[in-house]
Amino acid sequence: MTAGFLAEESWALAQDRDDPLRWGRAEFELPLGAGGQPLVYFCGNSLGLMPRAARTQLEAELSDWARLGVEAHFAGQTPWYSYSEGLRAPLGRLVGAKPHEVVAMNSLTINLHLMLTSLYRPQGPRRKILIEEAAFPSDAYAVMSHLESRGIGSDAVLVARPRVGERLLRTEDIEALLRERGAEIALVWLGGVHYYTGQLLDLRRIAGAARAAGCIVGYDLAHAAGNVVLQLHDWEVDFAVWCSYKYLNAGPGAVGGCYVHERHGRDRTLPRLAGWWGNDPDTRFQMQSLPRFIPVEGADGWQVSNPPIFAMAPLRASLALFDRAGMVALRSKSERLTGYLEFLLARPGGAAVGLLTPREPSARGCQLSLLARGKAEALVGALRERGFVTDFREPDVIRVAPTPLYNTFHEVWRFAVALGELLPAG
């Protein structure tokens, strides 16, 4: 990835002038520093910036509420009753799924609980759930609490670990584990892009190995949706869940997403935690005259409550930008941004930091996790004083995420210069 990169500021500026995605930056509200200048915001892996169109989308729903009250469910500019249906196609394109395989609902962890209820089906010796070491805490909490709720002990958790002395998982080790112990594993549950290391797993290969071993496979795509190219249907992934407030820029507490492969979406016999909005629309309003739950086919059948319109409106604005850009183009720029940052930090005279994230662009998203032992937290503060927004993770990591929709090569160049001044190679 270093081929063709140059350390001169003029080179970075030229890349931005020729960037076919340069229009994206103007579509977002950029936080300002004390001097009124835009901050360099490299924290989209935690909370994405606000699309300018989100304000218009929200104001439209507020206006309909004010004008129409309850009648806005069917008479508004974008009727609330079918609001979530308008998100199916763009979400499907984003994660490589058919429209009926995806639904915007709830939060990531709630959706995980719903999926575990339906798709974790332990039988005989096949009862374990495979998760990665140091999984995002909410994932681990959900798995453990789900097992406890069903009277299954913690010994049902099988942990995939890096090799001794390493901090990243190897795909071949996961495949070997599935070959050797697959008969014990009911469900594989892994993060697509690891929140701490920034590692992107080979989701296609792992899904194939899981299927060969007879396991259900699900992915946490919190750091993958809107970050990397996904083909969930073609890879025959059983389910996936994600949040929408990171790379999808839908705002704090935004509605999450859920994918269920159509082979499960057609199976109405699966146990599930039901709610009225997952009911067949043809009978949804018969209520007391038809008390039995009849799930609609597809991912919609796992809905519990009616759509949170104000939490969905910003997502509608953001997905329009993803459709305009296309994930292939965004991924290409992302690899070049992180490749450029790695090049600048590794060159003679660059900052004295280590790199936890894989060096292969295909094995990472847009985040680089920088190692600065004993200095990371102070460096994040010092960078903020210089106008750079990153984040700190215990004990020694600075997460830096140049996102292709609104970050630039010149911002990457400026960051490398600033970090080099704060932490010279010596």
Tokens of 360: 């292969």
User: Residue 2: what pLDDT?
Assistant: 55
Question: By CB neighbour count within 10 A (0-12 exposed, 13-18 middle, 19+ buried), where does 424 fall?
Answer: exposed
Kindly state the percentage of the chain with pLDDT values over 70: 99
Question: By CB neighbour count within 10 A (0-12 exposed, 13-18 middle, 19+ buried), where does 31 fall?
Answer: middle
User: Residue 1: what pLDDT?
Assistant: 47
Q: 102, 257 in Cβ contact below 8 A?
A: yes
User: Residue 332: what pLDDT?
Assistant: 97
* pTM beyond 0.75: yes
Cβ-proximal residues to 409 (8 Å cutoff; 6+ apart), any chain: 11, 12, 13, 15, 16, 19, 336, 337, 340
**From CA 317, how far away is CA 111, in angstroms rounded?**
23
Q: Which amino acid is at 47?
A: L
Confidence of residue 3 (pLDDT cuts 50, 70, 90): low
Is it the case that residue 329 has pLDDT exceeding 80?
yes
**From CA 264, how far away is CA 100, in angstroms rounded?**
11
**DSSP class of residue 257?**
E
User: Residue 288: what pLDDT?
Assistant: 72
Question: By CB neighbour count within 10 A (0-12 exposed, 13-18 middle, 19+ buried), where does 408 fall?
Answer: buried
Q: Which amino acid is at 48?
A: G
Structural domains of the chain in order of their starting residue, each with its CATH number: 9-30+326-422 (3.90.1150.10), 58-323 (3.40.640.10)
Q: 144, 154 in Cβ contact below 8 A?
A: yes
Determine how β-strand 368-371 pairs with β-strand 157-160: unpaired
